[in-house]
């Protein structure tokens, strides 16, 4: 099987793997918190609208590009475009950078799972608060590095097994298990006294401000860009993952249905994850007498400080729920990380084939893992800035706003903040104006029974107009979130200039190709 590209064993196997890629840390710590903070139900509506008009369209486009070309993300863009073939490289670099911190966070999950396991086995041992534990973990670079290596080894072993023998097999078991564990945590969370306050934070418009969780509601523009950025990361778009997974998909499968299922399942899990973590975190905060504004409801501290405190406050059964919860998060992290890794592995496998060499998946996976480890060690040793590792842009007391906090932010700023929205904007311009929607629609409509004229029209309008404009907006929003509100005008101008410049490029590209 060494130089065989392979394919998914079944459509459901593909779906579970794609849902696995989408469901990750972003669903658990990003979505619920951003939803509560940004107006609850209002945010959900904005998120859903963006998911339908932008996310669903890009999902179909990426799967179609992959399946049409049967190639890695670099090969796919090279095959269809003259002017935008270089986007493939952007979509390769972004997952590489994301892996630098995703594997460290995965390592933290393993560490917390083992910790709860040992608390379970040796009850009566000294109990530390979540923040003491987190602090001790971050300031132990050697430990963080070891757990990062462990996480990468697990991913390596899965990816080495191939598409159906590794990735599909893992997700076939991992996804249903994740779902069951999520339901268990939801039941426990909702039965804690005070849990309804957490539900209100998530779902009732304006409640976060009224109850005092946050002091001020964000404006509509901020809500739009927050929801857009979150939707992108959560659906694993513009990272080559869906192009790569699509390249292994059989021609007879229905891309429209598959894309819809992935978008719906990812959103559902994000909502379920919110109901699992936020009410528990809020209930515990209230019980401990912590001011609502001081309860950490998002980011790494939600997972590794607030929730650890929740489990410790549950007494004897706490560590058991802790083990279940961190295992659930770990599975979500692995299923996403393997899709990021596969983007790189597929690229090198295809490249070997083009050069007439026998590419060994095992060897390629090993080298890709080593390269990821090299950058991940920076993030691991830095310990979210706790250990003061030097960072580009820092020095002499002056720092570049936005990414200056730690290596994780630095990597996240470039990948999630810039490359991801930029890549999606360029891809929409390429499909909409250079190669034309018809070229991807042919692939999208393959395997769809009945008339497709309604879908064709919807797709064409979205990919030509709605997606590029939305992406310019999301790009500006992401840049503002990293470079600060003070630079918002500059961020908008840069974004609009990029949009128009590449729109012109796409138009020129089209006329050239036709001649």
Q: Which residues bind ligand PFF (CB under 6 A)?
A: 21-22, 24-27, 95, 98, 233-234, 236, 239, 241, 336, 339-340
Looking from the CA of 472 toward its CB, the CA atoms found within 13 Å total: 19
C-beta of 508: minimal distance to ligand PFF in Å? 30
CA distances from 145 to 22, 101, 105, 287, 378 (A): 26, 12, 11, 35, 9
What minimum distance in Å lies between the beta carbon of 109 and ligand PFF?
12
Closer residue to ligand PFF (CB): 283 or 411:
411
Distance CA 61, CA 255 (A): 9
Q: What is the nearest approach in angstroms of ligand PFF to the Cβ of residue 59? A: 12
Nearest distance from residue 216's CB to ligand PFF, in Å?
A: 27
CA atoms within 13 A on the CB side of 139: 7
The DSSP symbol for 217 reads P
Cα–Cα distances (Å) from 451 to 48, 439, 446, in that order, read: 26, 17, 12
Using the minimum distance from each CB to ligand PFF, give the nearer residue, 96 or 492.
96
Write the burial class of residue 168 (CB in 10 Å: 0-12 exposed, 13-18 middle, 19+ buried). Answer: buried
Least gap, CB of 29 to ligand PFF (angstroms):
9
Q: How far apart are CA 404 and CA 413, in angstroms?
A: 10
* Token pair 């528990």: residue: 280
In the three-class reduction of DSSP (H, G, I as helix; E, B as strand; rest coil), residue 45 is classed as: helix
Taking the complex as a whole, how short is the minimal distance between the CB of residue 26 and ligand PFF, in angstroms? Answer: 3
Complex with ligand PFF: residue 119 or 365, whichever CB lies closer: 365
Q: Which is nearer to ligand PFF, 164 or 236 (CB)?
A: 236
Closer residue to ligand PFF, CB minimum distance, 22 or 272: 22
CA atoms of 57 and 262, how far apart (whole Å): 12
Closest distance between ligand PFF and the C-beta of residue 22, in Å? 5
Q: Which residue shows structure tokens 């409509």? A: 445
Bridge partners, residue 395, by sequence: 398
**Cβ closest to ligand PFF, residue 414 vs residue 458:** 414
Nearest residue (CB) to ligand PFF, 23 versus 406: 23
Q: How far is the CB of 235 from ligand PFF (least distance, A)?
A: 7
Residue 77 or 433 having the CB closest to ligand PFF: 77
Contacts of 60 (CB under 8 A, 6+ apart): 255, 256, 259, 440, 444, 459
Using CA of residue 326, residue 225, residue 40, residue 209, what is the dihedral sign? positive
């Amino acid at each position: 099987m060494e130089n065989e590209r392979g394919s998914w064993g079944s459509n459901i196997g593909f779906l579970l793997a794609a849902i696995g890629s989408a469901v990750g840390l972003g669903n658990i710590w990003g979505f619920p918190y951003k939803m509560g903070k940004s107006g609850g139900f209002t945010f959900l509506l904005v998120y859903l609208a963006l998911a339908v008009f932008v996310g669903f369209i890009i999902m179909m486009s990426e799967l179609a590009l992959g399946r049409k070309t049967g190639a890695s993300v670099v090969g796919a863009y090279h095959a269809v475009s003259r002017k935008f073939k270089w986007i493939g490289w952007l979509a390769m670099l972004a997952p590489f950078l994301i892996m630098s911190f995703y594997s460290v966070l995965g390592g933290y999950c393993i560490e917390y799972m083992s910790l709860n396991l040992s608390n379970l086995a040796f009850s009566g041992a000294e109990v530390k608060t979540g923040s003491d534990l987190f602090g001790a973990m971050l300031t132990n670079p050697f430990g963080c590095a070891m757990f990062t290596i462990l996480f990468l080894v697990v991913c390596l072993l899965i990816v080495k097994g191939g598409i159906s023998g590794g990735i599909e097999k893992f997700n076939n078991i991992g996804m249903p298990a994740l779902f069951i564990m999520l339901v268990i945590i939801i039941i426990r969370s909702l039965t804690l006294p005070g849990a309804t306050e957490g539900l209100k934070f998530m779902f009732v418009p304006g409640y976060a401000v009224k109850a005092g969780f946050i002091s001020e509601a964000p404006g509509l523009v901020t809500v739009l860009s927050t929801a857009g950025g979150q939707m992108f990361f959560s659906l694993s778009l513009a990272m080559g993952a869906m192009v790569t997974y699509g390249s292994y998909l059989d021609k007879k499968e229905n891309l429209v249905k598959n894309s819809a299922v992935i978008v719906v399942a990812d959103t559902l899990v994000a909502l379920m994850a919110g109901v699992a973590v936020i009410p528990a975190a809020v209930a515990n905060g209230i019980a401990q007498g912590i001011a609502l504004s001081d309860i950490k409801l998002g980011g790494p501290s939600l997972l590794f400080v607030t929730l650890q405190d929740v489990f410790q406050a549950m007494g004897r059964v706490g560590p058991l729920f802790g083990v279940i919860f961190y295992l659930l998060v770990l599975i979500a992290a692995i299923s996403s990380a393997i899709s990021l890794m596969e983007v790189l592995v597929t690229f090198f496998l295809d490249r070997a084939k083009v050069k007439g060499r026998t590419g060994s998946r095992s060897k390629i996976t090993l080298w890709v893992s080593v390269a990821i480890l090299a950058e991940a060690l920076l993030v691991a040793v830095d310990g979210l800035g706790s250990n003061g590792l030097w960072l580009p842009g820092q020095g002499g007391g002056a720092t570049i706003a936005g990414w200056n906090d730690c290596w994780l932010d630095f990597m996240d700023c470039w990948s999630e903040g810039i490359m991801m929205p930029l890549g999606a904007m360029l891809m929409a311009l390429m499909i909409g104006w250079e190669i034309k929607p018809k070229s991807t629609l042919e692939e999208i409509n393959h395997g769809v029974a009945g008339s497709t004229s309604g879908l064709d029209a919807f797709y064409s309008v979205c990919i030509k107009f709605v997606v590029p404009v939305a992406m310019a907006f999301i790009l500006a929003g992401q840049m503002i979130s990293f470079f600060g509100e003070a630079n918002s005008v500059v961020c908008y101008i840069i974004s609009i200039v990029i949009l128009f410049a590449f729109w012109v490029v796409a138009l020129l590209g089209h006329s050239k190709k036709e001649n």
